[in-house]
Chains A and B, each alone.
Chain A
Amino acid sequence: DGGITQSPKYLFRKEGQNVTLSCEQNLNHDAMYWYRQDPGQGLRLIYYSQIVNDFQKGDIAEGYSVSREKKESFPLTVTSAQKNPTAFYLCATGRGPGQGRGYTFGSGTRLTVV
């Protein structure tokens, strides 16, 4: 079955460490997105990529980095520069701009700083 795989489901990070969240898709979708969810704030866009080897900052990109070397993969690195990284992170895919399509979401990674 086609879908999105996010791993790990739970992740604990020590202060000052970088961590990478994985997002893999087999939907053959062009676009991929990373959202952060905090209680009472909805989902906020971190980064997105509409094509391989290209990506753009979203609304809250500071302290995060991404890469898009393959169509299927869009890993998110939470760097030590992100001061408050504890949150729920959701990866999504879409068919790309101009097509008015919705998204398919992964099951999320819950990151906690310890």
Chain B
Amino acid sequence: AQKVTQAQTEISVVEKEDVTLDCVYETRDTTYYLFWYKQPPSGELVFLIRRNSFDEQNEISGRYSWNFQKSTSSFNFTITASQVVDSAVYFCALREGGSGNTGKLIFGQGTTLQVKP
């Protein structure tokens, strides 16, 4: 069965520090998609990134970067030079692809990031 684990429940950093949010997933499918979402206090989930199982290239978007490693079933998210506005709950999620998939997103438990000024 598919599963997503975010072992870090809460992280607190001081502004300008770098921080990495861990995500480990389990799936038997060879085709799957991994996502990161940000949930600010308003509650709405904001899409950050999608990565498919055939693309292991790391990605950088401004202060955000993602490290996808199939060998360790991990999809970690790093924020460089964190800012107070980065304070939110971050979710990693998995969706199995290919024929017969149900289209469900399986979420990790979430990591609450607090960035202090």
Interface residues of A, Cβ cutoff 8 Å to B? 31, 33, 35, 40-45, 48, 50, 56, 58, 88, 90, 92, 94, 96-98, 100-108, 110
Contacts and interface: CB of A to CB of B under 8 A. Distances in A.
Nearest to A9: B43
Nearest to B106: A45
A92 B102 CA distance: 14
24 contacts: A31-B103, A33-B104, A42-B6, A42-B108, A42-B109, A43-B105, A43-B107, A45-B106, A48-B102, A48-B104, A56-B102, A58-B104, A88-B43, A92-B45, A92-B105, A97-B100, A98-B97, A98-B101, A100-B31, A100-B52, A103-B47, A107-B43, A108-B43, A110-B43
Contacts of B109: 40-42
B95 A100 contact: yes
State the majority secondary structure of interface residues on B.
Answer: loop
Given A100-B33, A100-B95, A106-B44, A42 B110 contact: yes
Contact of B97 (A48, A100, A107): A100
Interface size band for B: 20 to 34
B35 A102 contact: yes
Contacts of A107: 42-44
B98 interface: yes
Contacts of A58: 104
